[in-house]
Amino acid sequence: MARGGGVRLLVLLLLGLGGSNGGRCSGARTTRLPEQEVEALKGFIISNVTCDCSFKNNTECHIIRLELMRQNLSGVLPDEVVNLTYLRYLDLSRNFIQGPIPASWGDLPVYNLSLQGNRISGTLPKELGRMPMLKSIQLEGNQIEGPIPPELGNISTLQRFFISANIITGELPSTFSRLTNMTDFRIDGNSISGKIPSFIKNWQSVNRIDMQGTSMSGPIPPEISLLKNLTELRVTDLSGPNMKFPPLQNALHLTEVVLRNCSIYGEIPYYLGQMLYLKVLDISFNKLTGQVPVNFGGMVALQYLYLTENILTGDFPSWMLKNKASNKVNMDISYNNFTGNPPSECQQVNLNMVSSFSSSNDNSLQPCLRKRLPCTTRPRYSSLFINCGGKSVSVNGNTYEDDSSQIGTSTFILSDDKKWAYSSTGDFVGNENGDYIARNTSKLTLAYPELYTEARLSPLSLKYYGLCMENAEYMVKLHFAEIVFTDDHTYSSNGKRVFDVFIQGSKVLEDFNIEDEAGGPHREITRIFTTNITDNTLEIHFYWGGKGTTAIPYRGVYGPLISAISVTQTGRNHHELPTGVVIAIVIGAASFAITLLLIAFYFKVFSRKNTKGNGRHSFYQGRKTNTSELQTRAQYFFSLKEIESATEHFDPANKIGEGGFGPVYKGTLPDGTIVAVKKLSSKSSQGNREFLNEIGIISALRHPNLVRLFGCCIDGDQLLLIYEFLENNSVGRALFGRTEHQLKLDWTTRYNICLGTAKGLAYLHEESTLKIVHRDIKPSNILLDEKLQPKISDFGLAKLNDDCGRVSTRIAGTVGYMAPEYATRGCLTRKADVYSYGVVALEIVSGMSNINSMSNEEYLHLLDWAERLKQQGKLLELVDQRLGSDYLQEQALRLLNIALLCTKTSPTQRPRMSSVVKMLCGQIPIEVVPDDDNLSEDLRLDIARSQCSMNDSKTDWSQMPSQCSMNDSKTDWSQMPSSNPSILLHTSKDSGYLPSSSSSSLKL
């Protein structure tokens, strides 16, 4: 371990012995330290080492404390520390230490182990459960992942357990019920799931519980009433059903109660107003009803009261205005349903009352007290520019208005021109003097640094409003730059800010991390959204859900941060291009390129037909290239000669697959780059439209989980696409190909394939400039590179937008993967891809295709079987038997439940792919939706039979093998009526690099 530039030193400062019973280790007496303890310290820069020299009649010293906080130490944790056999306190907090915690540290005899505020990664070693005397373990603010080892429940002496702001998953181990000495328990901001366990009743000594921003579900167990020593309780953002207010009346010494966004309903308990020591009460973002208890006005210790976003009714509490006169309490009572005793104004320091009344059209109320802040004059604004946290600046011809007010907590601020406003809620825990404006202290090398020099902060909830806006479609551009954290390999660079963003009530960013998205601190990043304003008011909401660090580089540094906001009406020129214009330009450019290719193709074919002799001329002459150039040019034209040379004149030995487009060959370019060449067959069911569509779409895309197009070749009737070569072919061949082609995919690989595919689809649907529906997601269109990472391929059928406004006469896709609404009505949305993804995920987990692998005649296809197993509580029986027991049951259940969620009959019940990614990563719980009850098993069978029969009344269903195979080559799909209620059906065993001709591709 080293400091600064990594120089490895051992510095024992000569600070005096400090007496025989303990003190600083003296250089003059270090000879009394055992050699192994001196050796263990090599690599540290030490400014605080405490020795005890009372051993063996004051003749021998041992190191008992090693405290190296804020030394900017870097490197990894050494195994040799375990040689400090008398060490009792080890504190390496707030440094830049990386790597895992050594398993050997399980033998350390320490009372206190503090590693918080570093970059420690890996999993928690189960060996830590051997520490016989451990009382406190502090690991907050690192990058530790995986579940909590149940062995930690063996540390009966444990009193303090801090693991907030890591990447911990799984449920709390049941062995933690043994930790009866627990006094302080903090797990904020992890992806820990499951219910809050009732065994917390065993923690009779506990005084603080922090469970903010996890993936846990309610309700809070009633056993919490037994924790009489509880002084601080913070539980937020619970999923699950509505719950009643937890019984806290026995915890008479409570000082802080935070139960935010926990779906709590009913009235606020009267006993809360009788708590003599209660300083902070945050029960915002719940479903509380009734009136605010009158005795709240007499709470002597109360400093912060947050009741925002509930359904409170009755008269507005007059005592709030009286308390307001002395600024005694910071209060937020906004977004409720009060009806009487309205205040004369709502712009008051430390009391936020915005939208606190139920009416939106009562003209006797101030507009800011009413729902949706209605416009009382003629709407007149079509744009809005705010320099959040900063002074007025002019950028690119637009004036960003001043927003430099220092007021932050419990407040509503209206701009001088009444064009916009903001509402802020919350206090920075542990920092009563927290600043609500962040200021950059380093030089910003940005295009418009004046927009990012300051930024507005909020500890919990920050809302900006555009007032009296014209009703129209708008582009909302949010400007971010992380200017609080550093990038200098000190502990100040370990901070992590995570928050959500809502526009007009819809979540547009979840678990947004500015630094991660921008590639580091002090770098700008913008996010652009379109939204409709229908009631003359725009609302942009930034919300902290309890995730990220809260004390790096100092306490109270967390919550949302926004640098600037620009809002422009789409179709108008405000010196910025609206999203619609950007998309139009991109689509127009792609269309123009495709048009040129069509013209070129037409003239080449025409000239070939009307010219004697060879008549073939390359549209673009071939030229030498290299890998770097290929990778920087989305669309590169190769000559036919180059491709023939690369594939050895399409030698059958180089053929690696056969798809609906035609054969696929492996080729080697002159510089050694290996490529895959996709060749249009004259017998192909895909044609020029799909060929050009694939070029136009994939040229605009860049993502690790999408196959990369190197270029194309058009020469006479030769149409060729040149892709990056993927060493391991496709998921279809890996799972369902011939035995010699199948790959042994372990559980981790399968899970990563599902996760990578989900990320690729999320990019297509939500992140790319062009919002794309793939339309043909199936195993043979998911390719695998040398590391078995998935890449989505075959964009010949993709569409640039949803299409559900009319019945399509040209349905394209593969039977077995098409969503019901698309197969039956031609209604195409991104949710069709979500459905296909769910089917593929089931296949990857089970190792079976959607119908052909079914041997049980009771089930029509794999999806039916999966649904039945779920009903029986036997979903794990679906896991591929080839895996044996070598898989993670929790992950398997998660993935299977997500797959079944994706294949819901109703598209509105299917999640977005970005949500699928978060569910797979354990960042959010799996969405709970009602079971499909509108499509019975008999109806599914009837629909499938109807499709299989293709209106052939002679079909003998009693003789139909394999539950209606759809691979009959005699089936004339072109004769199938578009109104046929075909529904999901199956896939065949694909073994090609691209879709096999044996896989039914449906075009109507």
Catalytically active residues are 776
- Nearby residues of 370 by Cβ (< 8 Å), 6 or more positions away: 355, 357, 359, 360, 361, 362
Question: What torsion do the CA atoms of 817, 821, 827, 833 make, to the nearest 10 degrees?
Answer: -30
Round to whole Å and give the CA distance between 743 and 168.
31
Using DSSP's 3-state secondary structure scheme, residue 756 falls into: helix
Within 10 angstroms of residue 7's Cβ, the number of other Cβ atoms is 9
Round to whole Å and give the CA distance between 988 and 850.
8
8 Å CB contact between 446 and 524: yes
Cα radius of gyration rounded to whole Å, the chain: 32
8 Å CB contact between 474 and 504: no
Round to whole Å and give the CA distance between 630 and 635.
8
Round to whole Å and give the CA distance between 652 and 648.
9
Round to whole Å and give the CA distance between 811 and 837.
18
Round to whole Å and give the CA distance between 115 and 810.
61
- Reference 453, options 440, 434, 435; nearest CA is 440
Residue with tokens 């090398």, as numbered in its chain: 445
8 Å CB contact between 275 and 249: no
Quote the tokens at residue 913.
């792919």
DSSP string, 474-539: EEEEEEEE--SS--SSSGGGG--B-EEEEETTEEEEEEE-HHHHHTSTT-EEEEEEEEEESSS-EE
Quote the tokens at residue 381.
């604004």
Round to whole Å and give the CA distance between 131 and 88.
11
Upper half-sphere CA count for residue 692 (Cβ side, 13 Å): 16
8 Å CB contact between 77 and 99: yes
8 Å CB contact between 941 and 963: no
Quote the tokens at residue 974.
């072109």
Q: For residue 967, which amino acid is it?
A: N
Burial of residue 896 (CB within 10 Å: 0-12, 13-18, 19+) is buried
8 Å CB contact between 831 and 907: yes
Quote the tokens at residue 581.
């214009």
Quote the tokens at residue 564.
């600037």
Peptide bond into 219 cis (omega under 30): yes
Within 10 angstroms of residue 250's Cβ, the number of other Cβ atoms is 14
Peptide bond into 907 cis (omega under 30): no
- Reference 274, options 294, 256, 288; nearest CA is 294
Q: How far apart are the first and last CA of the chain?
A: 66
Round to whole Å and give the CA distance between 385 and 574.
10
Round to whole Å and give the CA distance between 899 and 739.
27
Q: For residue 589, which amino acid is it?
A: A
- Reference 166, options 107, 238, 101; nearest CA is 101
Quote the tokens at residue 335.
């977004």
